[in-house]
Structure 1
Amino acid sequence: MLHPPNGDYGLGVGRVFEHMTPTLRLDRILYPAETKRWLARVAPAVENDLMAD
């Protein structure tokens, strides 16, 4: 789970690459059993999480 940003933490380097288009590629879809195995490895959120609201 990703938390919403609590401020502007961007690098602000001012570099723009006009000819580099960001892409997202889906390699495969996980089977339900495989998804359960991966999610079992994820730790639950802790109450003192500094990024939580």
Structure 2
Amino acid sequence: MAEYVNVVSKAEIDNLLEDYYAKYDIILEDRDPEEFRKHAAVRGGIEICLR
């Protein structure tokens, strides 16, 4: 699976994250917004890979 995740483009992940941020209220609760986005990008890449 890792090799599939590695071929997901940054643009695809960025588009998915923009959808997340447009559709959902992101509650950070004292989390660093930049760090949260990095973690969400990793999960987004995995989601794209699984599709």
Which TM-score applies when normalising by structure 2?
Answer: 0.30
Which TM-score applies when normalising by structure 1?
Answer: 0.30
Rg comparison, structure with higher value: 1
Greater share of residues in helix: 2
Q: Which has the higher contact order (CA 8 A, sep 6+)?
A: 1
